[in-house]
Amino acid sequence: MMDKEECDRMDKTRLKVLIVDDVAMNRELLSAVLGDESDVREAADGLEALEILKEEPFDLMLLDLNMPRMDGMTLLKETRNMPELANMPVIVISADDSLETLHRAYELGAVDYLPKKMDTEVIRRKVADTVLRSVKQKQLLKVLNDQVYERERNNRLMVMVLSNVVEFRNGESATHVQNINVLTEAILRTYIRKYGAGDLTEEDISLICLASSFHDIGKIAIDGSILNKPGRLTDEEFETIKTHTTIGADMLSRIEGWQEYPVMRYAYEIARWHHERFDGRGYPDHLHGDEIPLSAQVVAMADVYDALISERVYKPAYSHETALEMIFDGKCGMFNPKLLMCLEECKDEIRGSVNQPKFDFGVQRRARNIVDSLLSYEE
């Protein structure tokens, strides 16, 4: 994607144009038309042009179709398969103006067409208009890219805020929430690769991973002396702990219009049902099998794995191998057999992906300031 500096270069400096034609006179004529306003390079066929394009970028290519060694259509196809060239505007110049030829050229990515015999002023105008459109499109993409990046930074900030809250309230490591994000994505993508995406889109995957950050949000309302008790919980205390699922779901459902936002619907599913188990022995609603939403099933497995490999006030950290063995042996409840196969397949990937810092220092500082402000109200 072109950045703002490159767009400014196109606005303020001479254009770089590649003319590709096997007839030297045609190249010379086009160079003469554009030479006062452009830096022009010439190529006698598609192969020569391809070598030049691999060496340096161009703002525009003027391309003849009928050439020896590699014709224009083949060169178009080659450039569109190369990410660094795919967005370069191409104007086709040809004596063949049949609809079939034009349709094929446009399908392969040409943005405009010029007949061989064309007034020089029309050529200049066509080139200027084509480059201007390209610049505006790339500037728009830059704006959209900046917006996506900012949204991603805000998403990471929210995850970091929740990480710090969980660490403060629940005695868990600051990486727990971000580990759940990473593990959820790894397991979910493996599931989709093995069994198909179904109705899930890339946006759904992103939203589920983000919503996984809310899985334990209900623990904010649980007494810290119970959450951080070093010894065995009494039956009554365990029943209190279990209410974090319904408390979290209730907190999320009180947000006005929450059902209108997919991320909040996923967050509700995950908060309420990430302790359900495939055989119906989980809580709070004792759902069976695929009554449990896939989002909650995946986060449940990710949560158990991270809890096992992490130190808690009531247990030491288990090794990666021991954690997997306990999950596969059913010592942490029954999981979807398909998800167990996915965990087996991506086990090496997740070993190296957890407990890694994922946030830049600016996001960390903003998150800590927000958390400090929130927690100050408890004093």
Q: Is the peptide bond before 68 cis (omega within 30 degrees of 0)?
A: no
Q: Residues for the chain: how many in total?
A: 379
For 359, residues 6+ apart whose C-beta sits below 8 A from its C-beta are 156, 159, 160, 178, 367
Contact yes or no for 62/33 (Cβ under 8 A):
no
Spatial separation of the C-alpha atoms in residues 208 and 206, rounded to whole Å: 6
Tell the burial category of 324 from Cβ atoms under 10 Å away from its Cβ (0-12, 13-18, 19+): buried
Residue of 113, 116, 71 lying closest to 91 (CA atoms): 113
Structure-token pair, residue 323: 């954690």
What are the φ and ψ backbone dihedral angles of 161, each rounded to 5 degrees? -60, -50
Sheet holding 15-20, edge to edge: 38-43, 15-20, 60-64, 90-94, 112-115
Residue of 60, 70, 57 lying closest to 18 (CA atoms): 60
- The label of the residue with tokens 């939403």 reads 293
Contact yes or no for 11/49 (Cβ under 8 A):
no
Single out the catalytic residue among 142, 219, 229, 358: 219
219 is catalytic: yes
Q: Mapping DSSP to helix (H, G, I), strand (E, B) and coil, where does residue 305 land?
A: helix
For 303, residues 6+ apart whose C-beta sits below 8 A from its C-beta are 180, 215, 216, 274
Q: What residues act catalytically?
A: 219
